[in-house]
Structure 1
Amino acid sequence: MSPQESSVQPFQFLLLVGIPVASVLLLVQCLRWHRCRWPPGSCQKPDDPEEPVSPSTPLPEYELPKQCQAPTLPEVAAFYQELHMPTRGQTITRQLMNKLLVFSAREVDHRGGCLMLQDTGISLLIPPGAVTVGRQERVSLVLVWDLTDAPSLSHKQGLVSPVVACGPHGASFLKPCILTFKHCAQQPSQVCAYSSNTSLLDAKDWRPLGQPGTHTSRDECRILLSHFSLYTCVLEPPLGQTARKWLQLAMFCSPLAPGQTHLQLRVYFLNNTPCALQWAITNEQPHGGRMRGPCQLFDFTGARADQCLKLKYISEGWENVDDSSSQLVPHLHIWHGKCPFRSFCFRRKSGCPQSSLSSCRCCWSPAVSLGMTGANWLALSQSQPLRYLCLHVALSPSSYGIPSLCFFLY
């Protein structure tokens, strides 16, 4: 072999081997860079077959999905136009821009006026002299049932009132207006009024309002307004003290029909305010659900654990459809005023004679959790066999004053 041939051979080897290897390495690096552009959990292009999109994590029951696209200017204008349109003294409940709202609007002049939301305990007073003589102002009062508009709270804070908006946002008057709404705190001195100086469609910026101009009584908060915005009340106990609020449990059931074999009961955990109960009633309307019996009031503290509804007894001829006889309710869902509910579904056992189911009632009694046994329930239901559906549902952690549910279907 000549010296010239031996000098060319290494060069040809590099061309034949080195270039393909370098190309492969470059291709791998490009692919890695392409994949790293997609952060974990983000959506890829529909035509990208490399990595399937993982299913989204289910949202908590009280959290609504966020809007992907901002509303257009015409949509925003139509939203506020409807909110500020005079309602002639009526209270309107309507879904607007994915928000469930209860509102009333009117025009006021120098003589003043008052707006009230029916069955909610919420009112707005514009005093005489607040509007310049010769002028008319259009004002609105809005109860916000979009739970995502409430303040973000720590585990020590509790929501004890509704979120209320006065409009138009930023409107000011010659005299302070008075906003009044209910709260459910046991100690009024632990209640702090919050305000978000934003419009109803903007991202909220909740801040403590301060004591001047705010008066909190046993079950009511009254705020003197220098301008219109969003307002609510938060329970904030001092260091070393336990926060407590009043809770109401409400039972709902769909209409009964002759020959019906299935029945679903729903138990709501609500703040003890009129507007919270109205929310549950409104939530049940699409299903035809009605409240069965009075609400049960009981003491709820920020130090409690998760609550559990346990089915203790079912009368003969009926069975629980669900796999479990207990339903867990996270503590913070209750403490932060998210209005959670749990349901039980029952059906008649096969082979049992049918009865005419036409009505139902429920009652709450601490005595049931203290002394009622399955034998007692069996004796009660056997007074008219298979005509009654008798249930014993207990709430735990149990203590004196925490109720059990006695439900009679007949």
Structure 2
Amino acid sequence: MSWQARIDEALEQRRQHGLLRTRTASQQGSGRWRVQDGRRWRNFASNDYLGLSQHPAAIAAWQQGAARYGIGSGASGHVTGYSEAHAGLEQALADWLGYPRALLFISGFAANQAVIAALAQKHDRIVADRLSHASLLEAAHLSPATLTRFRHNDPEALRAALSTPCDGQQLAITEGVFSMDGDSAPLADLAEVSRAAQAWLMVDDAHGIGVVGEGGRGSCHAAGIQPELLVVTFGKGFGISGAAVLCSESVARYLEQFARHLIYSTAMPPAQAVALQAALTCIQQGDALRDRLQRHIQRFRDGARQLPWQLSASHTAIQPLIVGDNQAALSLSAALSARGIWCSAIRPPTVPPGTARLRITLTAAHEDEDIDVLLEALHDAARG
């Protein structure tokens, strides 16, 4: 089969099963509204949970950073791309989250790949929650270590996996808040199990940082634990992009030597680091935003109880409605779009087969009216 025939066949299979992904260009895609071709939709698909992508302080900080440093870093951080803005942000994150060091990465995907690729060796074992993000599972698959997946959010399943003989080191992996179900990991129990097995624990808290816990310090702080490796990303609660790995001094020095994504990627623009520092200040002072988000979550859950679709047991900003069938999820998404509501249908392989869903995300940027309009449209769609 030729290259073109292989590609055409793969695309056709996606079409037939209602799995074909598409992108649409918008004039605005974060915050309360999505704007495209002059039309506005109420936006329930953004991960900008606190609305900081539109915050005047973060925008002004990026502009000031660009005026001072320019619009690019110019090189890898190991060459000339590491600025005082990067160093200041790393120190602020480490102090805030109680770690000796923080290392910045261009994305959460890159951070997860870099850590696992640098640490995992032959004879090691990686034991990951079966619903862990694709960046984690892919990195584990590509590493020379053995990957074992444990039952979702089940500390006893983790204990069983870690208790089998292993000639090397063991790394347990989970998320703080899971991106597709919106549920939270039992981090205190997972940390205890990992510690008893002398395994390290790695937590990706992409969807918890900034939103969960006292002062928005995230899922691990809320659970009272400090995993050996904590990954926080800046594309959700921070409203921007990028990521950081929080770790010990020795691990940071090791990653500076062996993390290829850190060594060979152009560093994030210093202006972005300046904006992230401003976003961090907003998060630290953001109790009112987090309270507002929690009110929206409760308002939605109260109004969605009578819907015929399964509402995930989530008390986070991620509120999935499990529809099941791929085409039914696409049809429901289209019905909402016709009512001026943007909410994406999520289908396999992102989620398990038979669990296609609307991944509804709520933000502090929403108004009560937005939640009510969404609920009315969902109830009307349920009535047919």
Larger relative contact order (C-alpha < 8 A, sep ≥ 6)? 2
TM-score category (smaller protein): under 0.3
More strand by share: 1
* TM-score for the superposition, normalised by structure 2: 0.26
* TM-score for the superposition, normalised by structure 1: 0.25
